[in-house]
Amino acid sequence: MQRILDVFFSALALLILSPFLVPLIVILRCTGEGEVFFLQRRVGRGGHHFNLFKFATMLKNSPNVGTGTLTVHKDPRILPFGDFLRKTKINELPQLINIFSGDMSVIGPRPQTQRCFDAFPKSAQLVIVNVRPGLSGIGSIIFRNEEEMMHANNDPNRFYDEVIMPFKGILEEWYVDNQSVLNYFKLIVLTFWVVLTSDSEIVWKFFKNLPLPPEELKQDC
């Protein structure tokens, strides 16, 4: 059932958004480094890798400089127009192609690079690969301001690997264990809400049985 919904929503969104996406492609082509799409290998269902599509928002060589595949708030590698695309999450829209082709779902655990996937607890890794990764999901909603959280920490790499990713892995594991059509639609609604308001705390009211964050994250989640 979820796959049918994924195909329907992704096809409908691509059709409706096409008049908006074409001008974006032209702007990206004429600004920054002239790149339109950024393709990155991510871990998908069954542990297989796939190419995830995004609009280009950073310098071409970004994965090889600075914090690598980790992005912090006000990252100097982000291009001027790319900053707008990232804040509004418009840069994620090309993943509708990934959804339509079957690599992803509208809702699911957020697909990670291998380096980030390896930071999940081993138990969570084994569960997460049983479903398609999602354009949005419980981890994406709760960590809506992940870049700001890392920027505020004195050691962002340690904070990411030892605090954020272990808890995010637990959240994604919770989603797989509680996957349903009802939760699918709840998380779609919540995704629109956090994009428009940046208020991710409401998720705790929708799902009463969510795992609680560790002490180091309580003030941020």
What pLDDT, on the 0 to 100 scale, is given for residue 72? Answer: 57
pLDDT at 74 (0 to 100): 66
- Angle between helix axes 80-88 and 2-30 (nearest 10 degrees) is 160
The string of pLDDT tens digits covering residues 15-57 is: 999 998 888 888 888 877 778 888 999 999 999 999 999 998 8
> What is the reported pLDDT for 207?
92
Hey, is 71 helix, strand or coil? coil
| Neighbour tally for 131: CB within 10 Å | 20
Total domain count for the chain? Answer: 1
Helix, strand and coil in the chain, % to nearest 5 = 55, 10, 35
By residue count, the chain amounts to 221
Cα 155 to chain center, whole Å? 22
Residue 98 neighbours by CB distance under 10 Å: 23
Q: What's the pLDDT at 62?
A: 63
Residue 93, exposed/middle/buried by CB under 10 A (0-12, 13-18, 19+)? buried
Q: Domain span at residue 199?
A: 2-217
> What residues of the chain score a pLDDT lower than 70?
61-74, 200
